[in-house]
Amino acid sequence: MPNTTEPPRLYPALRYRNAGKMIDWLCEAFGFSVRARYGEGDVVHHAELAFGSSIIMLGTARDDAYGKMVGAPGSGGGKSIYVAVADADAAYARAKTAGAEILEELTDRDYGSREFICRDPEGNVWSFGTYWPKADGPAS
């Protein structure tokens, strides 16, 4: 059984064409806060954005070895992040106000979650909902 006081072990990593602009947008639209940001000029080599006890990492899309592995930003499919929130309605309002493309309106799921799905300006899909699995708890 994992120790509930240990830091998270999973850190989604995203590449954006305009990472600097997206950092600002993700903070405004989704409530992230900047934990770290490294780079030169308009290029973000590495940034960490916090959301509660969770962190995503991101940087500017580059034609380097890692960039070739993960591919270019966009709506090519297979890219999605789920974010557990206490208030899905408030998260929805914030995302919509910031211009997130709403892909699925707020809905109540049969497993008890209230959630919505949206796309950020560079094509990544984000789901926000009240379903919040805990690593040390039973599966719902």
Mean pLDDT, the chain, whole residue set: 89
Whether the pLDDT of residue 58 is over 80: the answer is: yes
126 neighbors 83 (Cβ within 8 angstroms): yes
Rounded to the nearest angstrom, the gap between the alpha carbon of residue 137 and the centroid of all alpha carbons in its chain is: 23
Q: What is the pTM of this model?
A: 0.87
Checking if the pLDDT of 1 tops 60, the result is: no
- Give the residue, 4 or 98, on which the prediction is more confident: 98
- Residues 6 or more apart in contact with residue 7 via CB below 8 angstroms: 53
Q: What distance in Å separates the CA atoms of residue 90 and residue 82, rounded to the nearest whole number? A: 16
48: nearest Cα among 96, 7, 13 = 13
Whether 91 contacts 74, CB under 8 Å: no
pLDDT digits (tens, 9 = 90+) for 78-137: 678 999 999 999 999 999 999 999 999 999 999 899 999 999 999 899 999 999 887 777
Q: pLDDT band at 51, cuts 50/70/90?
A: very high
Helix (H) or strand (E) holding 80: strand 80-84
